[in-house]
């Protein structure tokens, strides 16, 4: 049997409680979940998930939601293209909103 080590870390009470609840519903202890995370990191030779610097604001999320559900109708291909340009950083949110407002207020 492999020798085990102890890992100590500090997290807020709320995060610990929420994580414990999630892991419990998955049939895992927090210790087992942490072991899975560390094993996945070793197997991947890095973080087992993508790390990115968030570049979108809450306003961006509201914008994405709004164009996806304009009056419950699927956005036009033109609207989808505006959103693609926005997501790629080719146009900013102000420009995208201006164009979309013109498209949907005729």
Q: Which two tokens stand for residue 37?
A: 């995370």
Examine the pLDDT at 70 and tell me if it is beyond 70. no
* CB contact at 8 A, 91 and 77: no
For 70, which DSSP code? G
Residues 2 and 44 in one domain: yes
Tell which wins on pLDDT, 56 or 100.
Answer: 100
Single out the residue in 10, 31, 51 at which a domain terminates.
51
Number of domains in the chain: 2
What is the SS3 assignment for 73?
coil
Examine the pLDDT at 20 and tell me if it is beyond 90. yes
Range of the structural domain that residue 76 is part of: 58-104
Task: Compute the mean pLDDT over every residue in the chain, rounded to the nearest whole number.
Answer: 81
Query: What per-residue confidence (pLDDT) applies to 98?
Result: 82
Residues 46 and 65 in one domain: no
| pTM > 0.75 | no
Query: What per-residue confidence (pLDDT) applies to 88?
Result: 84
């Amino acid at each position: 049997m492999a020798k085990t080590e102890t890992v100590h870390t500090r997290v807020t009470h709320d995060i610990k409680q929420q994580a414990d609840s999630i892991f419990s519903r998955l049939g895992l202890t927090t210790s087992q979940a942490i072991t899975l995370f560390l094993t996945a990191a070793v197997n991947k030779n890095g973080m087992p998930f993508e790390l990115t610097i968030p570049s979108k604001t809450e306003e961006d999320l509201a914008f994405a939601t709004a164009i996806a559900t304009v009056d419950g109708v699927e956005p036009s291909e033109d609207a989808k293209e505006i959103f693609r340009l926005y997501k790629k950083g080719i146009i900013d949110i102000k420009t995208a909103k201006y164009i979309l407002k013109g498209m949907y207020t005729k």
